[in-house]
Structure 1
Amino acid sequence: MRVRQLILACISGLLLPLCFPKFDLGLLAWVALIPLHIALDSATRRRAFWIGCLTGTIGFTGIMVWVVTVMTTYGKVPLPVSSVILLLLTAYLGLYVGIYSWSVVWLREFLPRYGIFFSPCVWVSLELLRTYAFSGFPWSLLGYSQYRELEIIQVADHLGVYGVSFLIILVNLTLAEMLLWLMPFFRGFRPKKLPWELATITSLLMLLTYGYGESLLTGSALPTPKGVVTVGLVQPNIDQVMKWDSAYRDETMHRFDRLTGQFGETTDLIVWPEAATPFIFEREKDYQLQLMALADRAKAPILFGSPALRFYPDRRPYLLNSAYLLSADGTILGRYDKHHLVPFGEYIPLKSSLLFFLDKLVEGIGDFEAGPGGTTLSLTPKATIREDGTSVPSRPVKFGVAICYEVIFPDLVRQLAVNGAEFLVTITNDGWFGHSSAPAQHFSMVVFRSVENHLAFARSANTGITGAVDPYGRILHATGLYTEESVRVTIPVWQPRTFYSRYGDVFAYGCVVICALLCLISLLRPKEPVHGTTAITPV
């Protein structure tokens, strides 16, 4: 029995990475966890926990093998050490699957037949915990596997990505319960009672979800955008080895100049990637003049990434990972400072106390401090020309910026919508990931941020993937990796304010409340008395 359970757990673990990019077999997610749920049948709680940990560790190792590339290629960490670090990280993530598996067995014991209904709530609660615990790491939440299934993911405008994860777990659980009900037939035994309640609820929720998504994507009652902006996205494909080498500064700027020049004067906004300038913009007067001249030729503001140098009260320096909006006339229209930094990449947590002996896993120019977050910037698109040749002046448009890692945090991007953003921009440098699956996984999360808030997203990446997503998650353009490209996209601007934008992760927190109530009821419920046995003497 134990060997069978281990094999089933391993099968689910091996199937999970196939659900995400680069494999992109998203529909497989709806059945990938069936083997795990079958393995949990008749398992003890302790065994269920370890079975789940095994599934999670194998699955996350396959999903996140790119971590080794980051550490060995750019962090100069020896391969054996980086492999151990990867396994420690994936074992930590596997704990969440282990806790979920434990809860499945516990719910079966606590509320026979009906306790299993609450298992998806546990999964969602654990995903929410993973989003915030230890600064948060919500990479490849189960719902992200469906970023190409547009009809299914529209429900994220109410429930967030967690709602899609809920449905996937519910379907896996229902199919597993149906298989467990059928198995005795093949063995000649009388089957358990048909789990028709679970099957009915699952079918109803899936029909409602698909119907809602279909109505949004094909309905004629959709709100009309207030206008459009034309965005020029630059993918320079600068090698990480060259990026901060002062000898290549002029070559880097020449490449940006050439790629930006391909847009002519037809764009409302030009976007360069994260840390695009190989220098601190505010401290390099000569390069400032180059950038101003470039913006003047383009006749459009340029949003570009550059470190910003600041000082503590005691005059110690620190850096901000910033995005500047430079107008065509050379004025700085605004700046956004990255709020959620990458632990061990942009800073070392607890460096002043526990982890003083560590250095960053990727090479860069120093440690960063977090910005305030939630900042929106503003631009005025070019005037539109009517058919009669007269021009219509444009109104200012607000947009939000997320830098790299920030786009994987749903609530952080939601705050930009709350603050009035009419479209969204993310700039990133995925060159650290090499040719791994990470850039595609990173890009897939942008789709959900668009659907959750019904705001278009434009994305500029150093080495790819650069592209745009419309307010309903349709990918308008996506470049390849390690290509040098200029991409022009036209995206709608509006302020739809979805349920998710207004209220955030109420669904996920609702799942947490349900789990907390179940635990409380379990603690308060009186224990069943243990009856003694009386020996019967045969006559």
Structure 2
Amino acid sequence: MKQKIHLKAAAAVFAGAVMCALSFAPYNVSWLAWVAFVPVLLSLTAAKGKFAAFTFWLAGFSLWLFSTDWFVNIAFAAWITAAAIMGIKWLLLYFSVRFLHQKGIFFTFAFPIVLVGLEAIQGYLFGGFDWNFLAHSQYRFLHLIQIADITGAAGVSFAVAMVNGYLADAFLITRRLIKEKPEINAKMLAKYGALDASVVIVLASVFLYGHFRIENEKLSEGPLIGIVQPDVPSTAKGIQVSYDKMLKRLEKQTVLCRQSGADIIAWPETMIPAPMNKEYIECCRSDSLPQKFYRRLKKLTEDFTLIAGAPYATLTIEDGSLRFDEEYNSAIIFKNGKLLDKRYDKIHLVPFGEYIPLGHISWINDLIMHFNPQGLDFTINRGKSLQRFRLKADGREILITPSICYEDTDAEFTKKSLHTNGEKSDLLLNISNDGWYVKFDGDGTARAGKEHYQRTAISAFRAVENRVTLMRSVNTGISCTIDPLGRIINGYKEGNLPEKALNRGAVEGWFSDNIILCRRRSFFSWHGRWFSRIFLKVIIVIFAAIVIEKLWLKRNKKNGRKC
């Protein structure tokens, strides 16, 4: 009998994990997120012990393996490791929610408190890993996500988790009323009524605020910006597709984009394969790749401004030879045929891709390098400071915050980069190379992977939190415009990419569109992840309480045996 209960509870936990996975992009069955954790929470009342704890970890591990299978393209070991770590998140959820529920706290309150606290912890992993939070499943529901400009994505996660907890409580209360038929009294009615009222108040507040913001946010049209999207899987760069052919394709799309009237055009991260700084280029032969790219880019940009991703390298003399001293992943600017000194060096590096966590420990570095099939040291230097580009488009000055790769998935980092010296940027420009994550069909045709859609969903929250337009220029997609209300804009002023933004994965093209300006600075942009930090402190207190109780019970049991 006990074994049957454990198996049913395990089935419920895995059913919840499956529903959770389907609620995220690219599946977008968003309503499942509102009920996915109901069977998970109900299982807490039926099963306990090591088997239940392992079941929760395994469900979390499986969920992350499935949701982030795009990771296997670049680092199989890192994929398994990250999934195992995220499984611990579900294990902690098991202990924490169960502990609070045993203390008489309804799931309605216990679950959102714990979930938001655990998401806050996740936000600090590897310097910031804000990926597939419960809120991100709701990116298409504009009235719901507007609260993010106060609470960040955590507020949306809280609301969705609260409904899950409430439904679990409603099931348990109904079952009790049917089975036990207790005498209904004023105290019971007040307690259950407070439960109902709490959920109604939270949801009503969130949706009313969302309606108010959508109807009253003051937006205006800004200058025209051009975006170029190559379609070159990273495994093909320089091999199946030569760098010369890749540049020709970029030049072709850029010329068309410039003809649409765009004074500023963006290329994705690392689309220029050679370091683009004058000190380095001057040391290269005239027929070298860096020199060729440099000359062609100067000619291409004679009458507009190009922001593009490129390596940046400083040089030093070692043993009588010139060698790289520092290497950066950078956003550079060519303006009117000149390479400007102004650049942005990426600060938020990707673990195992751009740096090795704890790599300063020699045996860890050696172990990671042992599993690196190319045997190359892929680490780069971390940028030293945030930068913003003050440029002109359509005769107007525009302040652009560049972000590279996953930097725009970090809410706190994005907030800081958009608001420096008391001035808000007009545009958050993300340049990424998602060519690592395409999927290949049997005939070798590339298509967008899960990562492309998940990235876009997360980016919508950065736009809402800071009330800023976010434009993405991404190799293999999804390049698009997201307005300050979090709307992923379909269509554009001119272009040749698919009209629907989410259909732009694994295609090549360009578009130009006017950015949407919002001058108001949001509460979140002033105070950052204050809402998350509250629950981070709460979850730490809960962990401490669990440990103290375990130690106390263990001590009492030991003393009891002596007696």
TM over 0.5: yes
Q: 1:461 aligns with which of 451, 474, 477?
A: 474
User: Counterpart of 1:241 in 2: which secondary structure?
Assistant: coil
Partner of 1:196: 193
The 3 A distance-change label for structure 1 pair 362 and 321 is: farther
Deviation, structure 1 residue 268: 2.8
What amino acid is the match of 1:503? H
Deviation, structure 1 residue 106: 0.8
The 2-side partners of 1:146 and 1:168 are apart by 9
What amino acid is the match of 1:233? I
Partner of 1:287: 293
Deviation, structure 1 residue 269: 1.2
The 2-side partners of 1:433 and 1:37 are apart by 34
User: Counterpart of 2:355 in 1: which secondary structure?
Assistant: coil
Q: 1:240 aligns with which of 234, 242, 251?
A: 234
Deviation track 1:62-117 (CA, whole Å, cap 9, x = no partner) reads: 2112222334xxxxxxxxxx3x753442121011121112111111233x245862
Deviation, structure 1 residue 145: 0.7
Q: 1:171 aligns with which of 159, 163, 178?
A: 163
TM-score by length of 1: 0.86
Deviation, structure 1 residue 369: 1.0
Partner of 1:11: 15
The 3 A distance-change label for structure 1 pair 43 and 366 is: closer
Matches within 5 A, 1:440-459: 440-459=453-472
User: Counterpart of 1:342 in 2: which secondary structure?
Assistant: coil
User: Counterpart of 1:253 in 2: which secondary structure?
Assistant: helix
Partner of 1:123: 115
The 3 A distance-change label for structure 1 pair 58 and 242 is: closer
Q: Aligned residue pairs: how many? A: 503
Deviation, structure 1 residue 376: 1.0
C-alpha RMSD of the superposition: 2.9
Deviation track 1:372-393 (CA, whole Å, cap 9, x = no partner) reads: 242111111223xxxxxxxxxx
The 3 A distance-change label for structure 1 pair 86 and 330 is: closer
The 2-side partners of 1:302 and 1:18 are apart by 39
After TM superposition, the structure 1 stretch with the greater mean CA deviation from structure 2, 22-31 or 237-246, is 237-246
1:33 aligns with 2:37: yes
Gaps of 5+ in 1: 72-81, 384-393, 532-539
Deviation track 1:119-143 (CA, whole Å, cap 9, x = no partner) reads: 3222112111111134332221111
Partner of 1:339: 347
The 1-side partners of 2:89 and 2:546 are apart by 21
What amino acid is the match of 1:348? I
Partner of 2:261: 266
Gaps of 5+ in 2: 282-289, 440-448, 491-500, 558-563
What amino acid is the match of 2:272? T
Deviation, structure 1 residue 4: 1.1
What amino acid is the match of 1:36? V
Deviation, structure 1 residue 185: 5.2
Deviation track 1:433-462 (CA, whole Å, cap 9, x = no partner) reads: 113211110111110000000000010111
User: Counterpart of 2:235 in 1: which secondary structure?
Assistant: helix
The 2-side partners of 1:414 and 1:278 are apart by 30
The 2-side partners of 1:163 and 1:341 are apart by 27
The 2-side partners of 1:368 and 1:45 are apart by 45
TM-score by length of 2: 0.83
Q: Is the 8 A contact 2:65 2:80 kept in 1?
A: yes
What amino acid is the match of 2:162? L
Q: 1:355 aligns with which of 365, 379, 394?
A: 365
The 2-side partners of 1:508 and 1:203 are apart by 22
The 2-side partners of 1:191 and 1:512 are apart by 40
Deviation track 1:320-340 (CA, whole Å, cap 9, x = no partner) reads: 000112212424162111111
The 1-side partners of 2:155 and 2:315 are apart by 43
The 1-side partners of 2:113 and 2:37 are apart by 16
Partner of 1:74: none
After TM superposition, the structure 1 stretch with the greater mean CA deviation from structure 2, 227-236 or 143-152, is 227-236
Q: Is the 8 A contact 1:160 1:452 kept in 2?
A: yes
Partner of 1:91: 84
After TM superposition, the structure 1 stretch with the greater mean CA deviation from structure 2, 345-354 or 89-98, is 345-354
User: Counterpart of 2:35 in 1: which secondary structure?
Assistant: helix
The 2-side partners of 1:320 and 1:524 are apart by 47
Partner of 1:108: 101
The 1-side partners of 2:373 and 2:459 are apart by 24
The 3 A distance-change label for structure 1 pair 366 and 182 is: same
Deviation, structure 1 residue 494: 4.3
The 2-side partners of 1:120 and 1:26 are apart by 18
The 3 A distance-change label for structure 1 pair 232 and 211 is: same
Q: Is the 8 A contact 2:107 2:166 kept in 1?
A: no
The 1-side partners of 2:49 and 2:437 are apart by 38
After TM superposition, the structure 1 stretch with the greater mean CA deviation from structure 2, 454-463 or 210-219, is 210-219
The 2-side partners of 1:494 and 1:466 are apart by 21
Matches within 5 A, 1:204-243: 204-219=201-216, 222-225=217-220, 228-243=222-237
What amino acid is the match of 2:160? I
Q: Is the 8 A contact 1:9 1:39 kept in 2?
A: yes
User: Counterpart of 1:32 in 2: which secondary structure?
Assistant: coil
